[in-house]
Chain A
Amino acid sequence: MEAEHYELILDHFKNPRNYGTLEGADVSYEEGVPSCGDLVRLDVKLEDGKIAAVKFSGKGCAISQASASILTERVTGMDVSGIMDLKDSDVLESLGLTVSPTRFKCALLGLKVLKKALVQNTRDGAAPAPPDGPSE
């Protein structure tokens, strides 16, 4: 267990970026991993096909929460189409350590939630209702 490998993950876990909920979000989406209880909610504000602002909240292991935090920094200002093109490996490579395959679900939860949020936004039009049961 090399401490330096965990630097980035632990930094984001202890000081999550863009944490909280977003007033007037265009779309909100949350999903969990039932087997481990990880949960990520994303609130997204869009402008001209780009992500103007994004906030995340949730609970769970350091990998899932830090990965979501890192993702919010990365996607702010990005085109929706560019986000839909993001690959799992893009996220896995951004974490500063080699994630074991048993933890892929945790590491990729944020990206999954973000893509689902954007798909829901496209499907529902401009003013989607927030999903049920948002976490505080």
Chain B
Amino acid sequence: MESIPRIGKRLDPLKLREDFPIFERKINGKPLAYLDNAATTQKPRAVLDSLVDYYSAHNSNIHRGVHTLSYEATLMYEAAHRKVAGFVGATDWRTIVFTRNATESINLVAYGWGLRNLAPGDEVLITIMEHHSNFVPWQMLRERLGIGLNVVGVDARGVLDLGEFDRLLSERTKLVSLVHASNVLGTVNPVKELTRKAKEFGALVLIDAAQSAPHMRLDVEDIGCDFLAVSGHKMLAPTGTGFLYGRGEILERMDPFLYGGDMIERVTPERSTWNELPWKFEAGTPDIGGGVALGTAVDYLSGIGMDAVAAHEDKLLRRALERLSAHDWVELYGPSEGDRVGVVSFNVKGVHPHDVAGMLDEEGIAIRSGHHCAQPLMDRLGMEHAARMSFYLYNSEDEIDRAVDTLENVKRLFG
């Protein structure tokens, strides 16, 4: 990866942008400032090229044919699992299951582990900060199995109530399913400490790392979690890619999630036995090309270094908070200190966030507006809607200035 531009430990976003074909586009005649990275990220040419290369030169189905292409495709797809394992600190690549996204990863645990291992009297512990994807599967299990679902709250700034976490954790808690970084507030939860506490009660721990894995160095062994759910498309890979890390011995004992081809070891008319990890959880022909490209995205990020990515985004976050907090007509959400990823939700007082986002779009600036698939959190904090900027490695401080300058114009118009 000698083409990755680096300046010592600091990355140069303007140089990096050259790797992303989409930034050649103009939006409404203006250069694209893409500040909606918590929704999905743009894709570097290396990732796009690896998709084209896979389909142009290696396309075949995996794990079946004896022919050359099938062998190559199998090697490439397995290599992508190895790269992802290395990226999150998993020592055994077979503990990485490719999925479509973090949502599917969480559902895999709910169906494959929860349905068999939970019973009335058991409890799942989540937080009010969860994305709907880490709320709804557990509500489903509550309805089906009659288990309890407890929800840890936050303070007014959106910091997790650690006292309530302690109070709600008990011997009845069988699973703690916890967001690492909030997609609304950017709050980074102390997952290592919370995992340690959960383990004292024998609970398993799932970390929703959809908003953290793309932005910082992660190590599942260091955190000590049992599961980690990640979306590939939020870390430069194609849409339709994601993965679940699971502790090997737990994955071994779990039921499959989907049933069919490639996930079996032996099928008779009466019964079937399951394939080895991770294929037991990857039924049917997977998104091989997407999986290979996810591996390339990991290479790209590793070439830059996740610490450099995190440092760059922290600089962008500080810039955004500094510029936005200078205005009393901006309502800012999320913690002003402590761990936080590059996500800034805000409102311009008196202006609906859809109007804000629409007017920024006219300037080529892409931000999100709405409820961010986190209605319980929004309700708790009394935010009906919010606008949201979220950053990635190719964003610059200039783009943040452009966005805030435009907000100043919006406010001037609305008065």
Contact residues in A for B415 (Cβ distance below 8 Å): 14
In contact, B385 and A36 (Cβ under 8 angstroms) = yes
> Which B positions have Cβ atoms within 8 angstroms of A?
351-352, 354-355, 358-359, 361-363, 369-371, 384-385, 406, 409-410, 413-415
A1 to B362, CA, bound (A): 6
In contact, A6 and B352 (Cβ under 8 angstroms) = no
Judged by a CB distance under 8 angstroms, whether A103 is at the interface is yes
Minimum CB–CB distance from A10 to chain B (whole Å) comes to 6
In contact, B361 and A63 (Cβ under 8 angstroms) = no
In contact, B414 and A106 (Cβ under 8 angstroms) = no
Taking A10-B413, A103-B354 as contacts, is the C-beta distance between A37 and B363 under 8 angstroms? no
Contact residues in A for B371 (Cβ distance below 8 Å): 35
A102 to B357, CA, bound (A): 11
In contact, A62 and B351 (Cβ under 8 angstroms) = yes
In contact, A37 and B384 (Cβ under 8 angstroms) = yes
A62 to B352, CA, bound (A): 7
> Which A positions have Cβ atoms within 8 angstroms of B?
1-3, 6, 10, 13-14, 35-37, 60-63, 100, 102-103, 106
A14 to B355, CA, bound (A): 14
In terms of DSSP, what is the predominant structure of the interface of chain A? Answer: helix
Minimum CB–CB distance from B303 to chain A (whole Å) comes to 35
14 more contacts with CB within 8 A, not counting A1-B409, A3-B409, A37-B384, are A1-B363, A1-B406, A1-B413, A2-B362, A3-B413, A14-B414, A35-B371, A36-B354, A36-B370, A36-B385, A61-B354, A63-B355, A63-B358, A106-B354
A74 to B332, CA, bound (A): 39
Q: Which B residue sits closest to A97, measured CB to CB?
A: B362
A103 to B369, CA, bound (A): 12
- CB-defined A-B contacts under 8 Å, sample of 22: A1-B359, A1-B362, A1-B406, A1-B409, A2-B362, A3-B409, A6-B413, A10-B413, A10-B414, A13-B414, A35-B370, A35-B371, A37-B384, A60-B352, A61-B352, A61-B354, A61-B355, A62-B352, A63-B354, A102-B358, A103-B354, A103-B358
